[in-house]
């Protein structure tokens, strides 16, 4: 039904305000589903032998409050469905007293790591997971509507510290990249990310920025202006 683990907000995870950062929230969510897969016997090494991998396609993250340094927290993930080559799961970050701090919805693609193409899920892939019920939240579409007007920002290259075990830019690193183009005082209450394709070491990233009344959109593109990822940030939900 669900998998949870407990932790405490560390100094290495906080920002200048003394609270867990948005990338820190995302890291906890990623860690939680990774721990679940390891516990159920379909973890990283098993998938590596099968030449398979789960790759995040999109997620919507809502943050009500960022926990402070030293605050005890509980992180939960709830896989709730499979369709074709897609797996769907929710996440919850809360205090030990049950105060909901952040929650999320996510879509994951099951890929063949040799071909880079989606692989249809079989019962052997899905049976280890005990599905639960979707949490109550205002679900946004997977696709992010692109603004008409965008400003091109300075390009930069993918570095070693951006990479994960699949040798691609980690999901959270795209968010870290995009945050560099946002106002310092922006209080992010909702993040949506649509992952289009994987960037690897040495790739050039060409950012595009758009500021609208109720949102900021950052596109991280290749040299042909095709996005690796599209990110939408909102202060209010």
Helix (H) or strand (E) holding 5: strand 3-8
What pTM value is reported for the model? 0.95
Q: Is residue 233 within 8 Å of residue 211, measured between CB atoms? A: no
pLDDT score of 124: 92
- How far from the centroid of its chain's Cα atoms is residue 231's Cα? 10
C-alpha distances out from residue 130 to 20, 34, 65, Å: 30, 15, 29
pLDDT score of 195: 97
Q: Where in the chain is the domain with CATH 3.10.129.10?
A: 3-126, 151-234
pLDDT score of 1: 81
pLDDT score of 109: 97
Where the chain has pLDDT below 50, the residues are none
Which CATH superfamily groups domain 151-234?
A: Hotdog Thioesterase (3.10.129.10)
Topology of domain 3-126, CATH: Thiol Ester Dehydrase; Chain A (3.10.129)
With b for 16 or more beta-carbon neighbours within 10 A and e for fewer, the 204-229 pattern comes to ebbbbbbbeeebbbbbbbeeeeebbb
Q: Report the alpha-carbon distance of residue 80 to residue 139 in Å, rounded.
A: 14
Q: Is residue 61 within 8 Å of residue 75, measured between CB atoms? A: no
pLDDT score of 237: 75
């Amino acid at each position: 039904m669900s998998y949870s683990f407990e932790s405490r907000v560390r100094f290495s995870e906080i920002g200048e305000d003394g609270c867990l950062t948005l990338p820190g929230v995302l890291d906890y969510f990623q860690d939680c589903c990774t721990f679940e897969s390891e516990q159920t016997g379909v973890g990283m090494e098993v998938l590596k032998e099968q030449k398979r991998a789960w790759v995040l396609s999109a997620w919507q993250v809502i943050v009500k409050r960022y926990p402070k340094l030293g605050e005890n927290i509980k992180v939960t993930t709830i896989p709730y469905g499979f369709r074709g080559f897609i797996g769907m799961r929710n996440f919850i970050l809360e205090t030990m007293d049950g105060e909901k701090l952040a929650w999320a919805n996510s879509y994951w693609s099951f890929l063949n790591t040799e071909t880079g193409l989606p692989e249809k899920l079989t019962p052997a892939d899905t049976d280890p997971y005990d599905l639960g019920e979707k949490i109550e939240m205002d679900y946004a579409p997977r696709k992010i509507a692109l603004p008409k007007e965008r400003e091109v920002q300075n390009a930069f290259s993918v570095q070693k510290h951006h990479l994960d075990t699949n040798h691609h830019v980690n999901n959270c690193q795209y968010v870290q990249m995009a945050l560099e183009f946002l106002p310092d005082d922006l209080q992010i209450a909702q993040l949506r990310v649509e992952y289009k394709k994987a960037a690897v070491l040495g790739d050039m990233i060409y950012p595009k920025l758009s500021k609208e009344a109720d949102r900021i959109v950052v596109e991280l593109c290749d040299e042909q202006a095709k996005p690796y990822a599209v990110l939408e940030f909102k202060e209010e939900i």
